Amino acid sequence: MNRVLLAALGVLLTLLLGATAAWAQATAQINGTVVDSSGAVLPGVTVTATQTDTGLRREAVTDAAGSYALLNLPLGPYRLEAALSGFRNYAQTGIVLQVNSNPVVPITLQLGSVEETVSVEAAAPLVETRNPAIGAVVNNEQVEALPLEGRNPVQLIALAGAAAEAGIPTTSRSMTSSRGIAITGGQPFAVSYLLDGAMHNNVLDGLNLPLPFPDALQEFSVETSSQNAQNGRQGSGTVNVVTKAGTNLFHGDLFEFARHHRFNATSPFAAIDRATGKRRSDGLVRNQFGGTVGGPVATDRIFFFGAYQGTRATQTPADIITFIPTPAMLAGDFTQIASAACNARGAVTLAAPFAGNRISPALLSPAAVKISQMLPATTDPCGRITYSRKTEPREGQSIGRVDWQISQNQSLFGRYMLTTTFWEPAFKNNPDNILVAGTAGSGGRDSYSQSLALGHTQVISSTTVNNIRFSANRTNVHRTNAEMFEPRDLGINIYTYVPKYTVMSITGAFGLNFGTETDSWYRPNTYGFSDDLTLVRGSHQFGLGASLGFNDWKTHANIRSAGTFNFNGNQTGLPLADFLMGRVFEFRQAPPFELDIRQKYFGVYGQDTWKLSPNVTVNYGVRWEPWFPQQHQRGQIYNFDYQRLASGQRSTVYPQAPPGLSYPGDPGFPSKAGMFPEWSNVQPRVGLAWDPTGDGRTSVRAGYGMNSNFISGEFYFDAAQAPPFGLEQRLVNPGPYSLDDPWRAVGRANPFPFTPGSVSEFPPYSLLIEVPYDLKTTRVHSWNVGVQRQVGDNMGVSANYLGNWLTNVWGDVTGNPGGVPAGASVTGPCTLRNPASPTGTTTYPNCSAAPLDVRRELTQANPGVGQYIGYMDWVTDAGWQRYHGLLLSFQRRSVRGLSTNANYTLSSCRGLINQGGTPLNVGTGYMLPVSLINQPGDAEARFGADEGPCSDSPRHIFNATASVETPQFAGTAARMIASGWRLSGIFRAQSGLALSVMTGGDRALTGMQYQRAIQAGNDVYGAGTRDNWFNPQAFAQPAIGAHGTSKRNAYVGMGTRVVDLSLVRSFRFASAQRIEARVEAFNAFNWFRPGSQDNNPNNNQAPVVNLANPNFGRYLVAGDPRVMQFALKYSF
């Protein structure tokens, strides 16, 4: 009920206020030259553009060179007219303006009476002769005609070319419709989204906020490489989306889209139904329903548009595969699970205390046995089980929009949108199976996103237009979790902040819950104001503007508050054996954290589009975009400097902290940001467009631009977990029975519960992240060279080279690694300095088995200080990334019922590790640690070990869309049978994403999580099937204390291909009314598609790349099989 009231109030607010910026940025313009029949230019000609849907008129007068420019025109169909005494009037129809388009429309006037009119029916040219940037427009026809999976228009962005959906599309802190898109090899979080000209990014994750559903979306453009100076905030690309608007005619629709599992194919991993011998369906029943309506409030003056879409679904997929303990294992018999039949890399001999892969059941962990007894039963000797999980998502979206054309020179615009998402946690819907809590997305959601844009457009003169706009976005992502049981119910002696919730992960086997699915909320707000002034002065079109932004976000999260147990097989040789023995590889815990962060944004630009000659246009400009770091209102930020540690310098704010640490309030500390602003962020842009033939049908373009990528709002989340405002503890290899009592296993007191701000003594081995004061923002240098050619009246082809170079890319480095003393045997005895020992030293019979925190560099160098510092990662801006791509495109606009678009991208992208879009997670960055004591030392040389192909940039991408519609036949029978049919389709194919092969453990003894394996043979790929993608025998674990030799992202996963089809039959009646019956098939040929990758490569199942996982090299998750959708739509 509250959601309904909120939607109603939002729409009412839009109707009352009625103003925004969509006419500011989400516009186009018409340019051209007027000549007489001899080719002589004609000054003083009055050129008028009239939008035929709304009656809006805009005039310009040609200058001494015969040139005209009609600025900031709303999108849609236009009639272009020209008049000059002594010449016949000129009128051209068929011009349809698309977002950000700059068509050049030449006009030829013939001598004669002004009472005579020369009429021309011609569409706008397909060639861009003014803007050097590379872009594509997805128009309304494509949005409505093409089959969209989930009716989410974000899918269409990747069809623009040189773009791919990131391997890890979203996080649990994102709205569900958000997607990470890598454009020209750029960072997925660094795409700038505009909705009706207003910023539309989620400041928390950098991704898009929900976009309008297809019936409410007019069109959108994708622009990248050498963008003009008006585009800022992020450098990978700009997506400009425009909602539909009302016109002088009432129009709208009512629709229902339905899916049912009976018509769909089944997953290749679905369980077999014993009664039928067939794979089980997913039980999908889905309905999407809603409608739109728009029209005039006052003809030619005020227009309204409203829309709503609701989604209701129930689904019970039966294709979730995992592995659980078998009855034999619980009886102490591990011979089968350790055999070659159950392990891709061959038989395993389990380490002591196992003998012959058997052990006394009395030695098993009581807590592990208790958990195993709660699991469903399996008869598979390897413990494999396939199960189902019921979900019931509910979504809604409401949109309201008003246009007010106050006069021919002044307009107001307003738009409000509310999107809601809700579903229950998995265990609440499936209370008889605790396994459902261990699958991705197992938590619930109760989230919403609101977006409001207001603005004003003023035509000061025919050569000067000003736009002012304001925007506000508010998002609340609320995760919920179901109560199951907590650690103490199992006999596990830890404190938990999350009642009845246990988190556990076992490599290659089942898990229990996720820290990223605990009850938490994330509430980012963004506010923006901008002013853009466009002036035409002779052959120059100047653009001047400034943007102001204010972001704030508040967070309450329980990511590690329940405590997380991880098992990886490093103790016995098999992860499930480690679990049953209670041998934890890593235990993590931290209290809940609350953040209150604010950030300012400011950008100012100047640009000029200079018509250097009739055939040459130069575009140049500059943007100044200083970077203001995030301000932590609670002061949850700090800095570490080894020189301060060496000199014994302590914080004056928190004197109990070890030397080297400083906090807000300490001398020289930068406010509450921990970083200095970057004022020198000046970004030049320059481009050239040349029409070599002078007829507007050929264009050669080149350009260069520099942009910046700003980190996402959640980047510092983990930094807030340091004392005194937080505390994250990680126990690595804590010893026997560490599942049942991890703190006793390491001989330390349990520091939880922890009260933030109450530190009287700094906790031992705290996790710290060091962010230097002077980090630079990531620079994006992009350039392009290309040629376009219009063939005939309706076809266009283009070839473009695209390049970009990212510098100052952020990444994190382990600066306080573990190790083995020089000269000591890795697996032999060693004596280490140990501050917990009464004698100050401890002798270990196996040096590699000594606790990681004792073996850390700072502990050994200065035990008095090192005992307080565990993981200590520092952030570096030394990363880089380079992309080179060839983009070939073909376009045929709709003529006689047929339209097609296709593009192919061949690219190469390489670089170092890059972060900035997700929270820092210590121990997951550069593979080779860099000594804090000797920093920077050989840091950059060591980073080179992580050079490799980019993670989200496939080498080959091919997209094609087509739509064909039968004509309206004259005969009654032919018209009834053959008229009104439309067949549309999308074909997309891309090569696989780059992958690394991981060890799954800490073989190098540094504490790094994502260590790579050794490539032991050249035949790294197996049979090329989902059951044998990688050859297990081609890889090996490095020796204890050594790093693997395989390169980062050296291997490629399975490519994907998919065909989506839509068949529509339209029945027209009355005047503009029609009914559409629609059948759609997604993945029509039921090709196997790999599932999404996991954000932790050690847990990835598409394919399994963790060498410690018994299923290494196999695909265990798949994308959707063929899914059918049926729809009815009434339009008027």
Tokens of 887: 């983009």
Phi-psi region at 1049: left, alpha or beta (left = phi > 0; alpha = psi -120 to 50) = left
Q: How far, in whole angstroms, is CA 589 from its chain's centroid?
A: 27
Tell me if the bond preceding 724 is cis, omega within 30° of 0.
yes
Q: Is the pLDDT of residue 106 over 60?
A: yes
Quote the distance between the C-alpha of residue 741 and its chain's center.
39
Cβ neighbours for 276, distance < 8 A, ≥ 6 positions apart: none
First-to-final CA distance of the chain: 30
- Contact 426/438 with Cβ under 8 angstroms? no
At 406, is the pLDDT very low, low, confident or very high (cuts 50, 70, 90)?
very high
pLDDT for the residue numbered 1077: 96
- Cα(10)–Cα(25) distance, rounded to whole angstroms? 23
Q: What percent of the chain has pLDDT over 90?
A: 64
Contact yes or no for 348/1037 (Cβ under 8 A): no
Neighbouring-strand partners of residue 308: 291, 398
- For 440-498, give the secondary structure using H, E and C: CCCCEEEEEEEEEEEEEEEEEECCEEEEEEEEEEEEEEEEECCCCCCHHHHCCCCCCCC
Q: Which is more confident, 682 or 769?
A: 682
Q: Taking 80 as the threshold, does the pLDDT of residue 1098 lie above it?
A: no
What band does 1095 get if pLDDT is binned at 50, 70 and 90? low
Decide if pLDDT at 936 tops 70: no
- Residue 1090 pLDDT exceeds 70: yes
pLDDT tens-place string over residues 424-472 = 999 999 999 999 998 888 899 999 999 999 989 998 998 899 999 899 9
Please give the structure tokens belonging to residue 824. 């000591």
Q: 903 pLDDT exceeds 80?
A: yes
At 25 the pLDDT is 46
Predicted pLDDT at 900: 94
Q: Mean pLDDT over residues 1003-1025, rounded?
A: 92
Q: pLDDT tens across 315-340, in order?
A: 999 899 999 999 999 999 999 999 99
Q: Could you give the CA distance from residue 922 to residue 771 in angstroms, rounded to a whole number?
A: 12
Q: What residues contact 974, with CB distance under 8 A and at least 6 apart? A: none
As a whole number, mean pLDDT of residues 925-948 equals 71
Mean pLDDT of 729-751: 89
**Residues 332, 272 contacting (CB under 8 angstroms):** no
* Average pLDDT of span 964-991: 89
Percent of the chain beyond pLDDT 70? Answer: 95
β-bridge mates for residue 1131, sequence order: 253, 1074
Mean pLDDT of 114-119: 64
- Please give the backbone phi and psi of residue 788, each rounded to the nearest 5 degrees, phi first: -120, 150
On the question of pLDDT at 416 being above 60, the answer is: yes
How much of the chain is in helix, strand and coil states, percent to nearest 5?
10, 45, 45
Calculate the CA dihedral of residues 693, 696, 697, 702 and round it to 10 degrees: 80
Three-state SS for 417? strand
Q: How confident is the model at residue 516 (pLDDT cuts 50, 70, 90)?
A: confident
User: What pLDDT score was predicted for residue 812?
Assistant: 85
Going by DSSP bridges, is the β-strand pair 869-895/766-770 parallel, antiparallel, or unpaired?
A: parallel
DSSP string across 713-780: TTTTGGGGGSTTT---EEEES--TTTTT-HHHHHT-----S--TT--SSPPTTEEEEE--TTPPPEEE
Q: Tell me how far apart the alpha carbons of residues 857 and 657 are, in angstroms, rounded to a whole number.
A: 19
Is 781 within 8 Å of 706 (Cβ atoms)? Answer: yes
* Coil, helix or strand at residue 888: strand
Q: Which residues contact 198 (CB under 8 A, 6 or more apart)?
A: 20, 21, 22, 25, 451, 453, 455, 469, 470, 471, 528
pTM of the model: 0.90
- pLDDT-based confidence at residue 141 (cuts at 50, 70, 90): confident
pLDDT bin (cut points 50, 70, 90) of residue 1113 is very high
User: Is residue 147 very low, low, confident or very high in pLDDT (cuts 50, 70, 90)?
Assistant: very high
Buried b / exposed e along 193-210 (16+ C-beta atoms within 10 A): bbbbbbbbbbbbbbbbbb
CA distance 651 to 664: 10
pLDDT digits (tens, 9 = 90+) for 45-72: 999 999 988 888 889 999 888 889 988 8
Residues 207 and 154 sit within 8 Å (Cβ to Cβ): no
pLDDT greater at residue 56 or residue 908 = 908
Q: Work out the mean pLDDT of the chain and round it to a whole number.
A: 89
Band (160; pLDDT cuts 50, 70, 90): confident
Q: pLDDT tens digits for 784-812? A: 999 999 999 899 999 999 999 999 999 88
Pick from 910, 924, 818, 911: nearest CA to 875:
924
* Stretch 23-28: mean pLDDT: 57
pLDDT in tens, 879-897: 999 999 999 999 998 888 8
Helix (H, G, I), strand (E, B) or coil at 85: coil
Query: Looking at residues 189-202, what average pLDDT do you find?
Result: 91
- CB-based contact 995:985 (threshold 8 Å): no
Give the pLDDT score at 625: 96
Is residue 40 within 8 A of residue 443, CB to CB? The reply is no
Cis before 125? omega within 30: no
Distance CA 434, CA 905 (A): 45
Look at residue 520 and tell me whether its pLDDT is greater than 70. yes
pLDDT of residue 12: 33
Cα pseudo-dihedral 1115, 1119, 1122, 1123, rounded to 10:
150
Residue-level pLDDT at 113: 66
Q: What is the pLDDT of residues 699-716, one digit of tens each?
A: 999 999 999 999 888 888
Report the DSSP pairing between strands 237-243 and 191-195.
Answer: parallel
Look at residue 989 and give its three-state secondary structure.
strand
Helix (H, G, I), strand (E, B) or coil at 693: coil
The predicted-structure confidence for 856-873, as pLDDT tens digits, reads as follows 999 999 999 999 999 988
Contacts of 427 (CB under 8 A, 6+ apart): 434, 436, 437, 442, 482, 484
pLDDT above 70 (res 22)? no
Q: Is 158 helix (H, G, I), strand (E, B) or coil?
A: helix
Which pLDDT score is estimated for 17? 34
Integer-rounded Cα Rg, in Å, for the chain is: 31
Closest CA to 717 of 637, 793, 833, 601: 637
Query: What value does the mean pLDDT take over residues 623-649?
Result: 92
Least confident of 154-168, 477-491, 547-561, 887-901: 154-168
386: tokens are 């396939």
- Where do the DSSP E strands lie in 498-539? 503-506, 511-512, 520-537
Dihedrals phi, psi of 967, to nearest 5 degrees: -75, 170
* CB crowding 372-394: b at 16 or more within 10 Å, else e: beebeebeeebbbbbbbbbbebb
pLDDT at 16 over 80: no
Report CA torsion sign: 404, 405, 406, 409.
Answer: positive
Residue 1050 has pLDDT above 60, yes or no: yes
Residues in the chain: 1132
- pLDDT at residue number 938: 58
- CB 485 within 8 Å of CB 496: no
The pLDDT of residue 663 is above 70: yes
